[in-house]
Structures are given as structure tokens and as C-alpha cells.
Structure 1
Amino acid sequence: MTIEYEWRGDFDNSALNALHADGFGHPVAQTDWRERLQRHSLGWVCAWEGGSLIGFVNVAWDGGVHAFLLDTVVAEHRKRSGVGGALVATAAREARAAQCEWLHVDFEEHLRSIYFDACGFRETTAGLIAL
């Protein structure tokens, strides 16, 4: 089946909450993704297969030249099939089209090869404070 990638795709909150639960292995939440994305995001990418939401990435931004990947998730049954890389590639293309100059991401160590090898990010120095 063909996978379609859609910038600022129309999605149902319950479908995105279910995808997050599946992809991250936690109970289904009741997050109002539409409200959150409208307030804080440059855009987002939805991956669709046969009418089902199988992937998602949020592209937050500073209103200027910096965009940030958040909430990258792929359905468990489609992991390791290139969906994540295609989500990130679409996000990068659209952020570039919006005149962003930098795309930032942070991730857990086990995702290192995905972001550096498959997606083309380069290592930088960054800092983090756990609040």
C-alpha cells in the first residue's frame, strides 16, 4: 500500500493520541493536538496508509529561522520501514520553504543512527535542564 505524506494534514485528535500511545508504548491520552499545533507550530507532517495515520512529526518554531522537531512517532507495525526518515525529510523541506535556516532535534541515544545516518543531522553541542 502507498504511504502519503501530508504537510499540515487534517487529522483527528483521537487518531493522533492513539498513534502516540502505540508508537511510544503508553496509555492513550486525551491531548488536544489541534489546539497545541495551532498555537506553537510552523506545521506538522502526517503519514497516511490506507486512510490510517501511521506517522507524525511536529515542527515547532521560534517565529524566525529556527525550527524544531518534536513528537516524531511511527506506528509500531511500520517502524524500521523508512516512514520516520520520510517524515523528517518532508518536515525539513517545508521548514526550508518557510525560510527557516536551522532544523533542530533532540532524541534518545537509541535513535542516534536514525537522525544522524538516515536523516542527515550533524552532531552539535547543546544543553538541557530537567525541570
Structure 2
Amino acid sequence: MEQRDDVVVFAAGSAPTDEEIHALFAASWPNHEPRSFRPILARSLTWVTARRRGHLVAFVNVVGDGGLHAFILDTTVHPNERRRGLGVRIVRYAAEEARRLGAAWLHVDYEAHLQSFYERCGFGPTAAGLMRL
């Protein structure tokens, strides 16, 4: 557990409720459609949450392949908390957790406008493919 500037960051073991995730995602993503995160988190390698005064203000999910590869998903920071370094801190924390749990490679897909953010998190560019199903 890490505490700084009255933000507490937790790694696995303090799962957010569906209601908390939906409130965060609704504030952050205008087209968010609620769904249950219980089955998603049950299959995750780990997740990291950040809370300010008890309220969920950031979330990152890390899924793994059961081997050396892990993937960052659903990186979300509440709009009122952006541009303060919280996003970079939570992704780096998630990377450390993934390493601690045995991952050797951490992957992330992102839209072009997020490239500099993920570079600040420590990711380098790579060629990859994506298929929408």
C-alpha cells in the first residue's frame, strides 16, 4: 500500500465494487455501459485502485496469460484527478505488481493521443496487430 497526497493506492486484495467502477468510468468515459466487473476481476492477474478520501479515483486492470506476459487494461483516472501524475504512478505500480507476480513482459494497447502518457509510464513502441471481433 502506498500513501501520498491523501491518495491511497492498493494492489489486489481491495477490489472495487461494480458501483465504484461504474461511477469512475461514467465520469471518465461518456459512452460507458455498466456491466459486472466481478467475472473480469476474477480472471485478472491483479488490479490497482487509487482512492482519495475513500472514493475510487483511478483504476488499472492487469490480466495475464498464465506465463510471462501481462496486459494493462482499463486505465482510468477520474477527470478531476488528471494532470497530477496519478495515472503514471498507478500504471507504474501495476507494472511492479505484474513483475512481482511473475510477468516478464507488460503489454498495452492505446490510442495514438495516449502515446506520450504511456511513454512516461515506461512503455516503448512496438509493432502489434489488432483485430476487432
TM-score of the superposed pair, with normalisation by structure 2: 0.91
Taking the aligned partners of 1:19 and 1:6, their CA distance within structure 2 comes to 16
Q: Which runs of 5+ in 2 are unaligned?
A: none
Find the counterpart in structure 1 of residue 105 from structure 2. Answer: 102
Matched residues, percent identical? Answer: 41
* 1:22 and 2:27 aligned: yes
Taking the aligned partners of 1:87 and 1:26, their CA distance within structure 2 comes to 23
Q: Which runs of 5+ in 1 are unaligned?
A: none
Aligned structure 1 segments of 4 or more residues deviating by more than 2 angstroms:
none
Taking the aligned partners of 2:52 and 2:90, their CA distance within structure 1 comes to 13
Taking the aligned partners of 2:66 and 2:8, their CA distance within structure 1 comes to 27
TM-score of the superposed pair, with normalisation by structure 1: 0.92
Find the counterpart in structure 1 of residue 63 from structure 2. Answer: 60
Find the counterpart in structure 1 of residue 16 from structure 2. Answer: 11
Find the counterpart in structure 1 of residue 121 from structure 2. Answer: 119
Taking the aligned partners of 2:53 and 2:111, their CA distance within structure 1 comes to 30
Aligned residues: 128
Q: CA deviation at 1:19?
A: 0.5
Give CA-to-partner distance per residue, 1:19-58, whole Å, 9 cap, x none.
Answer: 011111225x3311122110x2101000000000000000
What RMSD over aligned residues (CA atoms) do the two structures have, in Å?
1.2
Q: CA deviation at 1:128?
A: 1.1
The residue type equivalent to 1:63 in the other structure is G
Q: CA deviation at 1:103?
A: 0.3
Give CA-to-partner distance per residue, 1:57-95, whole Å, 9 cap, x none.
Answer: 000110111000000000010111111111101110000
